[in-house]
Amino acid sequence: MRLVIMGPPGAGKGTQATVVATTLGVPHVSTGDLFRANVGEGTPLGLEAKRYMDAGEYVPDSVTNGMVRDRITQPDCHPGFLLDGYPRTLEQVNELDMMLAAASQSIDRVVELTVDTDEVVERLLKRAQEQGRADDTADVIRRRLEVYAEQTAPLTAVYAGRDLLVRVDGMGEVTEVTRRILSALAD
């Protein structure tokens, strides 16, 4: 199964993607995690990405697309994967289509986690205290939500048009949301 999970910052994508990927037995490919790993290791890609991440902006496609291509063409992704945080722009949708078409593959399903915006901001501020992420300050959170609304939210219409989109209520207990996602994917 080749899956994408979408939703605004703080929707719980990362938490859900980790559990869902383990349950389905496919790798969890998170662009945010890949960027953070590169930042932590101080690689050139990490240094480039950090400038954008710290400001709540998207890392340029010239950096992001290549990183995703390298990851999803690894052997462990051959049977399937769960993409978390990619695609985030229409250009990335096209790029992903091309990457997959080159291997005669395509996306099977896109899960959109829907949440209440006030709840999202609260979750992100809590995560800022717990994990100390540089991009979880109030100003940067606001910018990340704006960028999501402008650039990423429109992608759901694209995937709905292809009949791939399933909307899942992301509010409530983590285990309950996981159950909803797995049940939506089983339909």
| Residues 106/34, Cβ–Cβ less than 8 Å | no
**Least separation in angstroms between CB 62 and ligand AMP:** 11
Report the site for ligand AMP in 131-160 (rule: CB under 6 A).
Answer: 135, 144
| Residues 68/32, Cβ–Cβ less than 8 Å | no
Out of 7, 9, 46, 170, the only residue in the binding site for ligand AMP (CB under 6 A) is: 9
Examine the residue annotation and report whether 180 is marked as an active-site residue of this protein.
no
**Least separation in angstroms between CB 30 and ligand AMP:** 6
Examine the residue annotation and report whether 88 is marked as an active-site residue of this protein.
yes
Say whether residue 38 binds ligand AMP (CB under 6 A).
Answer: no
Buried b (16+ CB within 10 A) or exposed e, 157-183: eebeeeebbbebebeeeeeebbebbee
Say whether residue 53 binds ligand AMP (CB under 6 A).
Answer: yes
Q: Which residue has the tokens 């993607």?
A: 17
Say whether residue 5 binds ligand AMP (CB under 6 A).
Answer: no
Distance CA 137, CA 91 (A): 28
Say whether residue 28 binds ligand AMP (CB under 6 A).
Answer: no
Examine the residue annotation and report whether 13 is marked as an active-site residue of this protein.
yes
Question: Of 89, 133, 118, 107, whose CA–CA distance to 4 is shortest?
Answer: 107
Out of 6, 20, 26, 59, the only residue in the binding site for ligand AMP (CB under 6 A) is: 59
Residues forming the active site:
13, 88, 127, 133, 144
